[in-house]
């Protein structure tokens, strides 16, 4: 099996050749510490600032509002803890959603232990929060609203602009985890009234190990890492210069002609959704039918379990992911699939396929060739399907 069809772009992406080329000199010739005053130090400093400009241009913000971190997870931790600890005097209430990435959820759970109160907004069957419920959840103690831009599992895009408007009207800061969205949908932090935004370079063909936190000018958050004047004293630690350079190049490439890229990927997504729902019985699409990331497809196949499905797809050279408990080593399936109301047994049978701009129509053809027989084979092995065929169980 030589052929590999990579359909897990939400997990990570390959680093573009052009990005690697820009990064390379910063490992060997231009290795100076950006804090040093001599020439190669200054060169590194300039490289960071150039990358910062590129990120700022992509988010439509100012370069001084861009801070480099070590990951999307760090950015989420910093935004939420930093905001919470800086505003303890003002209030102790945070509003987030039940479908956030664990980088946000676990951070909020940690803050609950530290005396903060957190409201986890529920979502509807498509994974969208209710603006009415958001407004109702706001109290005079609310200091932060943190809602992800787009969901990493089911791809649902939240009404970010409306959330931003509500937060602004109420004078509450608004953070969004946009790790899955940046480079995949157009984003304008001012138009959307976003006060803080987390992103991660490896989700749009940049290197791993580089995140960004955008913090709107004038907003004070506490620093998590002490020990130096890096990132204007906000995030200590010698900068990952090759990584930062790569992140800058990658975001520039990802946001250039984004509309064309989106429409191409979306066409693959919609074709796969239509064909799978047509050809495979007892199957449902998870997430919103239209308000979803252009590359995200998430199905649940009844009577089968996700990990088995992934193993069989892998044998056929298809790389995908699942929200089944078995794939995470936990007992419960994905919190996102449970939050949209799926029963456990259907959540266990989920399959996420995420497209990138390197995928083609032939990849969809191939998935349609291998997926239906794999589902059928696993169902033939399943005692649950046997009951359905006998008419014991009604679906």
- Active centre residues (catalytic): 326
Q: Which stretch binds another protein (CB under 8 A): 6-14, 48-56, 206-214, 343-351?
A: 343-351
Contact 303, 168 (CB under 8 A): no
**Joined tokens for residue 175:** 């953070």
Q: Which one among 308, 321, 334, 354 touches another protein, defined by CB under 8 A?
A: 308
In whole angstroms, the minimum distance from the beta carbon of 380 to another protein comes to 8
Residue 329 makes contact with another protein by CB under 8 A: yes
Residue 380 makes contact with another protein by CB under 8 A: yes
Closer residue to another protein, CB minimum distance, 343 or 373: 343
Closer residue to another protein, CB minimum distance, 307 or 376: 307
Measured CA distances, 116 to 83, 88, 96, 109, 112 (Å): 12, 9, 13, 9, 5
Residue 264 neighbours by CB distance under 10 Å: 17
Q: Which one among 303, 320, 356, 375 touches another protein, defined by CB under 8 A?
A: 303
In whole angstroms, the minimum distance from the beta carbon of 374 to another protein comes to 11
Collapsing DSSP states into helix, strand and coil, what is residue 344? helix
Closer residue to another protein, CB minimum distance, 346 or 364: 346
Strand-pair category, 196-200 with 211-215: antiparallel
Taken as a whole, the chain contains a residue count of 395
Size of residue set near another protein by CB under 8 A: 27
Residue 381 makes contact with another protein by CB under 8 A: yes
In whole angstroms, the minimum distance from the beta carbon of 300 to another protein comes to 12
Q: Which one among 144, 304, 313, 339 touches another protein, defined by CB under 8 A?
A: 304
Nearest to 311 by CA among 277, 351, 281: 351
Residue 384 makes contact with another protein by CB under 8 A: yes
Closer residue to another protein, CB minimum distance, 198 or 327: 327
Residue 382 makes contact with another protein by CB under 8 A: yes
260 CB contacts (<8 Å, ≥6 apart)?
Answer: none
Q: Which one among 233, 289, 343, 373 touches another protein, defined by CB under 8 A?
A: 343
Nearest to 374 by CA among 325, 333, 315: 315
- The Cα 245–Cα 233 span in angstroms is 20
Residue 333 makes contact with another protein by CB under 8 A: yes
Residue 324 makes contact with another protein by CB under 8 A: yes
Nearest to 117 by CA among 79, 88, 148: 88
Contact 68, 114 (CB under 8 A): no
Q: 166-194: buried (b, 16+ CB within 10 Å) or exposed (e) per residue?
A: bbeeeebbbbbbbbbbbbbbebebeebbb
Q: Which one among 305, 320, 367, 375 touches another protein, defined by CB under 8 A?
A: 305
Closer residue to another protein, CB minimum distance, 46 or 344: 344
- The Cα 254–Cα 53 span in angstroms is 15
Q: Which one among 321, 348, 355, 363 touches another protein, defined by CB under 8 A?
A: 348
Closer residue to another protein, CB minimum distance, 289 or 343: 343
Q: Which one among 169, 345, 361, 365 touches another protein, defined by CB under 8 A?
A: 345
Q: For residue 172, how far is the Cα from the chain centroid?
A: 23
In whole angstroms, the minimum distance from the beta carbon of 324 to another protein comes to 6
Residue 307 makes contact with another protein by CB under 8 A: yes
In whole angstroms, the minimum distance from the beta carbon of 312 to another protein comes to 8
Contact 287, 157 (CB under 8 A): no
Residue 277 makes contact with another protein by CB under 8 A: no
Closer residue to another protein, CB minimum distance, 39 or 381: 381
Measured CA distances, 167 to 43, 77, 162, 207 (Å): 40, 20, 9, 33
| Site of interaction with another protein (CB under 8 A) | 303-308, 311-312, 315, 324-327, 329, 331, 333, 343-345, 348, 380-386
């Amino acid at each position: 099996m030589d052929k590999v069809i990579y359909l897990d772009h939400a997990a990570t992406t390959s680093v573009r050749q052009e990005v690697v080329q820009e990064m390379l000199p910063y490992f060997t010739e231009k290795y100076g510490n950006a804090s040093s005053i001599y020439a190669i130090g200054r060169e590194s400093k300039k490289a960071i600032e150039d990358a910062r400009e590129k990120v700022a241009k992509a988010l439509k913000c100012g370069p001084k509002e861009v801070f480099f971190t070590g990951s999307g997870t760090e950015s989420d931790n910093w935004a939420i803890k930093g905001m919470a600890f800086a505003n303890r005097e003002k209030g102790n209430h945070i509003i987030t959603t039940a479908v956030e990435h664990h980088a946000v959820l676990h951070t909020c759970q940690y803050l609950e232990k530290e005396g903060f109160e957190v409201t986890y907004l529920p979502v509807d069957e498509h994974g969208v929060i209710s603006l009415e419920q958001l407004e109702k959840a706001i109290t005079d103690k609310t200091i932060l609203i943190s809602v992800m831009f787009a969901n990493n599992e089911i791809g649902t895009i939240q009404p970010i602009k409306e959330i931003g408007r509500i937060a602004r009207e109420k004078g509450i800061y608004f953070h969004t985890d946009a790790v899955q969205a940046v480079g995949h949908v157009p984003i304008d932090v001012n138009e959307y009234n976003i006060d803080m935004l987390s992103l991660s370079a490896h989700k749009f063909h940049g290197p791993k190990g580089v995140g960004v936190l955008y913090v709107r000018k004038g907003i004070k958050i506490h620093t998590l890492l002490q020990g130096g004047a890096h990132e204007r004293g906000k995030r200590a630690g010698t900068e990952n210069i090759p990584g930062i350079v790569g992140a800058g190049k990658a975001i520039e490439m990802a946001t250039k002609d984004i509309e064309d890229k989106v429409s191409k990927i979306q066409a693959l997504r919609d074709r796969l959704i239509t064909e799978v729902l047509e050809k495979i019985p007892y199957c449902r699409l998870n997430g919103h039918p239209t308000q979803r990331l252009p590359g995200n497809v998430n199905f649940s196949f009844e009577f089968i379990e996700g990990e088995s499905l992934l193993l069989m797809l892998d044998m056929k050279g298809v790389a995908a992911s699942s929200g089944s408990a078995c794939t995470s080593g936990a007992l419960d399936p994905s919190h996102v699939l449970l939050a949209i109301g799926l029963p456990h047994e259907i959540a266990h049978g989920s399959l996420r396929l995420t497209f990138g701009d390197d995928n083609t129509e032939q990849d969809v053809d191939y998935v349609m060739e291998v997926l239906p027989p794999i589902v059928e084979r696993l169902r033939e092995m399943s005692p649950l399907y046997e009951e359905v065929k006998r008419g014991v169980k009604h679906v």
